[in-house]
Structure 1
C-alpha cells in the first residue's frame, strides 16, 4: 500500500464491502450467533470475530488516523468478503452460518 492510489483504492473497497455501521457491528459481535461461527485457535475467539472488532476500531477512526496495519486489515476484509460472497449457498440465508460469518467481517449480504 505504498502509493496514494492504492491506499484510496483499498479504503474505497473497504467502504463498499463493510455495509454495517460501527454500532450495528458492535451489537452483532455481542450475539451468540456471531460467536457461534468461524475458526478459532485453541477454542478462543474466532478469526472473524477478531476481525469484526478491528473493523469497529477502523470505523471509529478519522481517515487521517488509519495506520498501515489498518490498511492491511482493510485489504484482508475485502479479500474475505469477495471470496465468501461468491460462495453464497442456495435458499434462504437469513439464519445461515454463511451470513453470520460475513456479518462478523462487517458485511450483511441481506442489506
Structure 2
C-alpha cells in the first residue's frame, strides 16, 4: 500500500510542478508585489493570499518533506490551474485578473509551455 501511495505522491509532485511554472523566487516577488498597497506593504511572510503562500512553501520543500496539508493543497492547485486554463479569460474575469489569479497560484499563463 505504501508503494502505491508513494507512486501517487510522485505523480502529484510532477503534476504540481507542471502546473506551477514559476520559480519560488518569481512567486515570492509576485506575492509581495500583488499585496503591496499604495500606502503600505505586507510583511514578506504574509504577502499574497494564503493559498499562494502555501504554494511558495511547497516550492521550497523537498518531496520527502511534504505534509498531508501540502499534498491536499497540491491537488487543489493542480485542479484550479487546470480549470482556470480551460475557462480562460471571460467577461466576468477579464484577462489581467485571470492572469493575476493564476500567478498567485504560481502559474504564469503567458509563459511558454515546455
Same fold? TM cut 0.5: yes
Aligned pairs, how many?
Answer: 94
Rg larger for: 2
Unmatched 5+ residue regions in structure 1?
37-47
Aligned counterparts of 1:62 and 1:10: Cα–Cα separation in 2 = 13
Aligned counterparts of 2:79 and 2:61: Cα–Cα separation in 1 = 21
Once the two structures are TM-superposed, the CA of residue 35 in structure 1 deviates from its matched residue by 3.9
Unmatched 5+ residue regions in structure 2?
37-47
Question: What TM-score do you get using the length of structure 2 for normalisation?
Answer: 0.75
Aligned counterparts of 2:68 and 2:81: Cα–Cα separation in 1 = 20
C-alpha RMSD of matched pairs (Å): 2.0
Say if 2:72 is the partner of 1:72.
yes
Deviations 1:53-103 (A, max 9, x none): 01111111112111111011100000000001111127x94xx10000000
Local SS of the residue matching 2:70:
helix
Aligned counterparts of 1:52 and 1:8: Cα–Cα separation in 2 = 21
Q: What does 1:20-99 align with in structure 2 at a 5 Å threshold?
A: 20-31=22-33, 34-35=34-35, 49-89=49-89, 93=95, 96-99=96-99
Deviations 1:27-74 (A, max 9, x none): 00012xx349xxxxxxxxxxx821110111111111211111101110
Aligned counterparts of 1:78 and 1:63: Cα–Cα separation in 2 = 16
